[in-house]
Amino acid sequence: MSVTLKVDLITPSIKKIQRKLKNLPKEAFNVFSDQTPVRTGNAKNKTRLRGDTIEADYNYAKVLDKGRHMTNRGMRGSNQAPRGMTKPTQEFIKRRLKDILAGK
């Protein structure tokens, strides 16, 4: 008994998945940007997508990304991003990857 697999049927699906995966960094950047708090606009203006890396280039990026939290100096972070930006973005990426691999 032999099994035959027609590769021509797989190739279009792989190409479709590759196209969607290529767009994933931009989609993730948009989620990260949407999660970034806005008071003066500095944080959003200094957040960039370089290749497949999101760079938040401002001196209080770590504070905002840690989310709303208590320190020995009182509450830190932003009410606008209580979970920070990275965690929601990572959750989006996981969901999106599942969808892409499921053909959605």
pTM of the full structure: 0.82
Of 88, 89, 82, 71, which is closest to residue 29 (Cα–Cα)? 89
Question: What 3-state class would DSSP assign to 14?
Answer: helix
The pLDDT tens digits for 72-82 are 888 888 889 99
> Nearest-5° angle of CA 32, CA 38, CA 39?
155
Distance CA 71, CA 53 (A): 29
pLDDT tens, residue by residue, 9-49: 667 788 889 999 999 999 999 999 999 999 888 999 999 99
Distance CA 78, CA 57 (A): 17
Cα–Cα distance, 86 to 35 (Å, whole number): 9
